[in-house]
Each structure stands twice: as structure tokens, then as C-alpha cells.
Amino acid sequence: MAVVASAPGKVLMTGGYLVLERPNAGIVLSTNARFYAIVKPLYDEIKPESWAWGWTDVKLTSSQMARETLYKLSLKHLKLQPVSSSGSRNPFVEHAVQYAVAAAHAILDKDKDTLQRLLLQGLDITILGCNEFYSYRNQIEARGLPLTPESLASLPPFASITFNAEESTGQNRKPEVAKTGLGSSAAMTTAVVAALLHYLGVVNLSSLDEDQLQGKKDVADLDVVHVIAQTAHCIAQGKVGSGFDVSSAVYGSQHYIRFSPEVLSSAQNAGMATPLTEVIDDVLKAKWDHERTKFSLPPLMTLLLGEPGCGGSSTPSMVGAVKKWQRSDPQDSLETWRRLSEGNSALEVHLNTLSKLAERHYNAYECFINACSLLPAEKWLERANEPTQAEIVKELLGARDAMLQIRYQMRKMGEAAGIPIEPESQSQLLDATMNMEGVLLAGIPGAGGFDAVFAVTLGASNKNVTQAWSSLNVLAMLVREDPHGVSLENNDPRAKEITTAVSSIQLE
């Protein structure tokens, strides 16, 4: 039986760079862009003599990258050895497989026979990332289609990924693939770990949605997925980021404070000879001190992402430049971080207050937000003519001011560090967007640079913003906030996409 698990992509709305250092927090929104991993046996039968074998087979297929790799997995050392490949390696998935299998050995100490049987049947792993993770601007332009979400929707699901040209170098180095910045590697690693841990019987993810609906606190299985995915992601990446991307891929939208990097030290310091089960034992027992609390946008607000068409930026080189600046100018950098942190907290407080106001006075809230959605922000105050509306408008304008402060400090940080955190072209786009009717705020997510920009819009104004972006040569993506983290799927997503396409044709 195939197991299909999925994990969402993310948008780091506040906390870029700061979230790398405890106790600074980041607000991360998970999205409807999901990465899928399908795990099934390679062989139906196990040959009787195979019990004596020291190896099993693993096949990894990424059709979007036209890659298929066959591996041998050593059943003793739990390490993968490629035997044939139609392209370069995938360190994220390779580490995900090795660590998930090692976790199965470490955790399932009683029922080793079932595990051995599953492994001897071989592992057939397929990975699929939603189109939203990748940039399709070039294809849309090449096909002569308008730069609209409808053109994006007309692409086949799980379309082929465009590789960036290799010649780009230096601090503006482009990533391997034309990505939109939604955290494809974190979502991919998490989906593979979740699917494998479920397939091998280490965790049971089938009641996740019910547990979440009932608000059950016990998320022990998710915690195992998190530790294994976070370890695999860091080791594959060769660096320890803040981990907000893996955390949101596992648990969904949240207010996040990073883990202390020491929790990963045994995985980082493990030599070639260290048994992987020992590494897994250590990381599972380590004191994971990250914090996450529930966060989602207030009602009637929509997260929009717009791709300005610059091919994305490489986060590690930007982080390196910021760290260099912190070392060279501790005083100025501390002050900028203090102000940024103030702006981040203020924005969060305003958004949380708006959520509470919506809860307490839903009708007044709905009516006022819909009215503001038709007006530019400078007209919102005049429109508030009763006390609840005055309270709401105060929070809306407070959120805008906080965003402007964040943007100002992010620009300053970029200038001081000599990197384009909010480059001029993005500033112009963000200013224009913040002046559009019904736009609460706009910013650059995460590390900034030339990745897609985000906006938060009120009521139905997202449609007008989408059109306005199209006339500014910005492609509004089909991404929306979706607070769900990891999930077990009933079907192969390719079958689902086909069914959805067929039923939408029938409905027309």
C-alpha cells in the first residue's frame, strides 16, 4: 500500500535574519503550496534468500526535474549508495531516507521483523512539488500568455522545473532552480520523512486532522517528524538555519522561536563510522527548546504573493553578508536589530488584536473591513464612525506603520551589509502596492532580495491587486495562507489534480 504525505511551503512574514538568534521570534505563515512524497514497496514479493542480504533497493523519482536515481541501502550502516542516476544527487531526500530508516531502527526496538520485511521489499519514493514553489514566468511569457493567475492555473500540475543559468555568481548568486522562495527543500524533506516514518510504522499520522480539530495537545508523532526532518534538512544543507521553514512544514502557521543549535551537534560532529541509530538516539533525546505558538491572519485578510520576475535570491550568501556586518559594526547593527524587533512585535500585536476584535464584534468587523477594502488606507480613518470601527482602524493603521518601520530597517540593514534585502525595484513595487485600495501591508518575505513579494489585503480587494500587479509586470501567484502542517493524503496528488480538473470542466 502506498503512503502519501504532504507538507506545506511557507512565507516568513516577519523575523527575517533576527529569527536566526534566540529569543527573537518570526511569524511564519504556511501556504496551500504543498510538497508530496509517495512511498511504496519496489517489489511485491521478498525473495526467500533476501533475508541474508545486506542491502536493499531504493528508487527516487523526481519527474519535475527529470531525475530518477537508484540506490542500494546498506541494512547494516543505513547509508545510501547511488547505483545509477539520470541527474545530480538530491542530498535532502537522501538524508531524509537515511535518518528516517535509522529512526525506525532506533524507535522500533521490538518489532524489527516487520521493519526488515518492509525494507527488503525496497522503497519506491516519488516526490512532487506544487507549481507554486517554482517560477513559471518565463514559460508563461514564452507561450505569449498574460501574466495572470489564470495563466498559471492553465499549466499542467507538477510541471517541469526551470533551472537557473549557471553563470550567476557573487552575492546575487541565483539558486539551482527558478524558485519562488516558499521553502521547497524544507517541505520536500518533511514530506519524505513523514511518509517514510508512517510507512515504516514509527508514527501514525492518520488521525492528525481529527486531533487538530479537537485541539488535542498530544502531538508526539509530529514532534518525531520534526526532529528527524530538521536534522536531515540541516545536515543536507550543510548549515543550521533558524528552522522556521521545517517547523511550519510540520506544524503549519505559527509564531516561532528557534531551537538552540547545540541540539544538532551530535549529527554535525558524527564521523563516517558513527552508527546513524546512535546519532538519531542523540537528536531525539536532545533538549529541543524551540517555541511555537498559534498564529494566523485575522479573518477577511488574504495573503497574496507576487512574482516580480527576477529569478530569486540565494539566502545563504545574504545571511553571510549580514553576519559580517554584525561583526564589523556591532553598535549600529544592534540598534537596527532592536528597532526591527520592535516593529516585528508591534505588527504581531496589531494583527492579534484585530483577530480578537473580529471574534468579539464579528458583524461590525466584517462591515468595516469590507468598506476599507474599497478604499486606499489614507481614507480608512474618515470611514470609521463608531467606537468599534475606531478601534479597528487604529489597529489597521498601526499594522501598516509597523510594516513601514520593518521595511525601513530591513532596507537599512541591506545597505549597511551591502546586499539587496529590499532592493529599489522591490521598494517601488511595495510602495505602489501599499497605496492600492484595500491593501493592509506589503513586504519582502524572509531574507528578502528578489524572491516573490507578499501583500495582505482586505475583503475582496485581492482581485484588484492581482490585476494591478499584472499591469506592473508582476505575476500574482496562486498561493494563499493555509495553516495546516504535515498531512497524510488519501490519494496520489496527480490523480486528485486530474479529478479536480475533470470536475471543473464538468461544472462549466
Ligand X SMILES: Nc1ncnc2c1ncn2[C@@H]1O[C@H](COP(=O)(O)OP(=O)(O)O)[C@@H](O)[C@H]1O
Ligand Y SMILES: C[C@@](O)(CCOP(=O)(O)OP(=O)(O)O)CC(=O)O
Positions that interact with ligand X (CB under 6 A): 62, 64-65, 90, 127, 129, 133, 175-177, 179, 181-186, 188
The cell for 177 is 532552480
Q: Provide the residue type at 293 as one letter.
A: T
Shortest approach of ligand Y to residue 49 CB, angstroms? 46
Instruction: Tell me the angle at which helices 91-107 and 276-285 cross, rounded to the nearest 10 degrees.
Output: 80
Side chain identity at 421, as an amino acid letter? I
Q: Which residues pair with 177 in a beta bridge?
A: 163
Q: Which is nearest to 126 in space by CA: 3, 37, 33? A: 37
Burial class (CB in 10 A: 0-12, 13-18, 19+), 125: buried
Query: Out of ligand Y, ligand X, none, which partner does residue 343 contact, by CB within 5 to 8 A per kind?
Result: none
Burial code (b: 16+ CB inside 10 Å, e: under 16) for 94-121 equals: bbbbbbbbbbbbbbeeeeeeebbebbbb
8 Å CB contact between 98 and 272? no
CB 306 within 8 A of CB 445: no
CA dihedral 366, 369, 370, 374 (to 10 degrees): 180
d(CA 426, CA 181): 15
Q: By beta-carbon distance, which residue lies closest to ligand X?
A: 185
133 binds, among ligand X, ligand Y, none (CB under 5 to 8 A by kind): ligand X
Q: Which is nearer to ligand Y, 438 or 446 (CB)?
A: 446
Q: Which does 16 bind (CB under 5 to 8 A by kind): ligand X, ligand Y, none?
A: ligand Y
Which entry of ligand Y, ligand X, none binds 62, CB below 5 to 8 A by partner kind? Answer: ligand X
What is the rounded CA–CA span in Å between residue 118 and residue 195? 14
Instruction: Give the one entry of ligand Y, ligand X, none that residue 319 binds, where binding means its C-beta sits below a cut-off of 5 to 8 angstroms depending on kind.
Output: ligand Y
Residue found under cell 546513524: 276
Q: Which does 17 bind (CB under 5 to 8 A by kind): ligand X, ligand Y, none?
A: ligand Y
Q: Would you say 41 or 181 has its CB closer to ligand X?
A: 181
In angstroms, give the least distance from the CB of 164 to ligand Y. Answer: 14
Verify cis geometry, omega within 30 degrees of 0, for the bond prior to 8: no
Nearer to ligand Y, 185 or 462 (CB): 185
Sign of the Cα pseudo-torsion (474, 476, 477, 481, in order) = positive
Note the maximum CA span of the chain: 81
The nearest distance, CB 28 to ligand Y, in angstroms, is 8
Question: What is the smallest separation between the CB atom of 99 and ligand X, expressed in angstroms?
Answer: 17
Q: How far is the CB of 67 from ligand X (least distance, A)?
A: 7
To the nearest whole angstrom, how small is the minimum distance from the Cβ of residue 481 to ligand Y? 15
User: Among all residues, whose Cβ is closest to ligand Y?
Assistant: 446
309 binds, among ligand Y, ligand X, none (CB under 5 to 8 A by kind): none
- Give the residue with the Cβ less far from ligand X, 3 or 127: 127
- Paired with 102 in beta bridges are none
Tell me how far, at minimum, the Cβ of 363 lies from ligand X, in Å.
Answer: 40
Of 21 and 278, CB closest to ligand Y: 21
- Cβ proximity to ligand X: between 414 and 449 the closer is 449
Measured torsion, CA atoms of residues 186, 236, 102, 244, in degrees rounded to the nearest 10: -30
Pick from ligand Y, ligand X, none: which does 19 bind, CB < 5 to 8 A by kind?
A: ligand Y
User: Closest approach of Cβ 98 to ligand Y, in Å?
Assistant: 22
Going 240 to 243 to 249 to 251, the CA torsion angle's sign is: positive
In the complex with ligand X, which residue's Cβ is closer, 138 or 274?
Answer: 138
Q: Which residues are at the interface with ligand Y (CB under 6 A)?
A: 12, 16-17, 19-20, 181, 183, 241-242, 244-245, 315, 319, 445-447
277 binds, among ligand X, ligand Y, none (CB under 5 to 8 A by kind): none
* Least CB distance to ligand X at residue 230 (A): 13
> Cα separation of 172 and 310, whole Å?
11
* Minimum CB distance to ligand Y smaller for 208 or for 305: 305
The distance of closest approach from Cβ of residue 318 to ligand Y in the complex, given in angstroms and rounded to an integer, is 7
Answer positive or negative: Cα dihedral of 70, 281, 294, 431.
negative
Q: Is residue 132 classed as helix, strand or coil in its secondary structure?
A: helix
Residue 8 binds which of ligand Y, ligand X, none (CB < 5-8 A, kind-dependent): none
Q: Which of 248, 277 has the CB closer to ligand Y? A: 248
Q: Which is nearer to ligand X, 203 or 264 (CB)?
A: 264
